[in-house]
Amino acid sequence: MTSCLTPLGNVHGKHVVTVEGINRSGGQLTPVQQAIVDSHGAQCGFCTVGFVMSLTGHSLSEQPATERSTRAAIDGNICRCTGYKSLERAASTLTAELAARPAANSLKWLMDKCFVPAYFEEMPARLAELRAETAAEETAVVTSNGQHGHPVASGASTTSPSGHAHAQNGQHPAFPHAQHPLLSGGTDLLVQQLDTLREQPVRLLFDQRGRRGLRHENGRLVLGAATTASQLLASELMRGLLPGLPGYLKLVSSTPIRNMGTVAGNFVNASPIGDLTILFLALGADVTLSDPAGATRALPLAELYLGYKKLAKEPGEQVVDISFPAPVAGDLFHFEKVSKRTHLDIASVNTACWLRLENGVVAQARLSAGGVGPVPLLLR
């Protein structure tokens, strides 16, 4: 994730590691640092820390290390001095070293090879203990707010030590919907309104229970509002129904931003060129909106937009989930994006198309387009 866009509340219950915390005592370089030095990948040094931490995080990944995945791990990092070739050589060196990483007990192997210090071995148990303490505190708050020791009813809420609301509809007495903004991934809001958001209470939704995940239900795919672009990319269910999805989502921002940006956040940002919005418009998506009392209503995504940055959403409503009809065998789907750069760039225009064929003839079609009007459009 991008640290400058990560609210402190979103790291509650997590192991936060800075570059100062990855070396063993004595100043020995890690294999990541050594590979960058040997490849002359550090010049002015301004970007070096980011590359070191991204590649260290990649070494801790459970996914097999390949040339492609190692390069993808640094696709959100910028270096103006080296022209990247030296850093690509460092990435290749690391890929070769990580090929020996075992699938089981990889953390011990990484510690033995000095990728991370020995204290990392303690962290899973310490985090599990912290999660148990947090769960106990939240249960205690629910019990104290409920009647006769029963959990509070829908519409009431509890607050975790991080300040997160945990009701079904996210409402909390101290954070009424209409007065305080909701913040999920924050990849746009924290750029556009950082100073404003610093001066007022916000409700962090990124790690709320029930806000993520995908399921196949009654012929539809349903996903939580805080599902990230990376989670879409990793979903076997989504890739099975939309085989081209990995290629489409690789056109959407960078790995750190895909790890943070959420589907509902892309929708309610209301950009005329929101990539996920355009993609889901062609899929025929609906959004479920919840008001402060917990009442919900469904709205076609195409009807969410009234004008530039204007939504058919009451001030107290928030998106809680998104659903769309599951594509069936024979359906065709495609997404296109035109931008100055192929990757890591905002769209000039984008479009998506879904077709259902019957006997080789188009029986149904949905076509969306962004960048051609004040709102993302489902063409009719």
Confidence of residue 83 (pLDDT cuts 50, 70, 90): confident
In tens, the pLDDT along 8-61 reads 888 888 899 999 999 987 779 999 999 999 999 998 888 999 999 999 999 999
Least confident among 34-48, 53-67, 184-198, 239-253: 184-198
Where residue 142 falls among pLDDT bands split at 50, 70, 90? low
Confidence of residue 144 (pLDDT cuts 50, 70, 90): low
Judge whether residue 3 has pLDDT over 90.
Answer: no
User: What is the Cα–Cα distance from 281 to 378, expressed in whole angstroms?
Assistant: 6
Read off the pLDDT of each residue in 283-305 and give the average, rounded to a whole number: 96
- pLDDT of residue 156 exceeding 50, the answer is no
Residue 122 has a pLDDT of 94
pLDDT at 376: 97
pLDDT for 362 equals: 96
For residue range 103-112, list pLDDT tens digits in order. Answer: 888 999 999 9
Percent of the chain with pLDDT strictly greater than 90? 63
Q: Which of 156-165, 188-197, 203-212, 228-237 has the lowest average pLDDT?
A: 156-165
Top-level class of domain 214-379: alpha beta
Q: pLDDT band for position 159 (50/70/90)?
A: very low
Which own/partner contact pairs does 52-55 have at CB distance under 8 Å and 24+ positions apart? 52/19, 52/22, 53/17, 53/18, 53/19, 53/22, 54/256, 55/90, 55/91, 55/94
Asked whether residue 153 carries a pLDDT value surpassing 80, the answer given is no
Q: Judge whether residue 258 has pLDDT over 90.
A: yes
Mean pLDDT of the chain: 87
Residue 143 has a pLDDT of 63
Instruction: Look at residue 160 in the predicted model and tell me its pLDDT.
Output: 33
Residue 371 has pLDDT above 70, yes or no: yes
Q: Read off the pLDDT of each residue in 230-239 and give the average, rounded to a whole number.
A: 94
Q: Out of 1.10.357.10, 1.10.3720.10, 1.10.150.120, 1.10.10.60, which CATH number does the structure's domain 23-116 have?
A: 1.10.150.120
Percent with pLDDT over 70 in the chain: 89
Q: Look at 168 and 375; give whichever has higher pLDDT.
A: 375
pLDDT for 146 equals 54
Report the pLDDT value the prediction gives residue 196, as an integer from 0 to 100.
86
Q: For the chain, which residues make up each domain, given as ranges?
A: 23-116, 124-204, 214-379
- Say what the pLDDT of residue 17 is: 93
Residue 171 has pLDDT above 80, yes or no: no
State the pLDDT at residue 176: 46
Model pLDDT, residue 197: 86
Q: Which two tokens stand for residue 324?
A: 């769309």
Is the fold of 23-116 the same as that of 214-379?
no
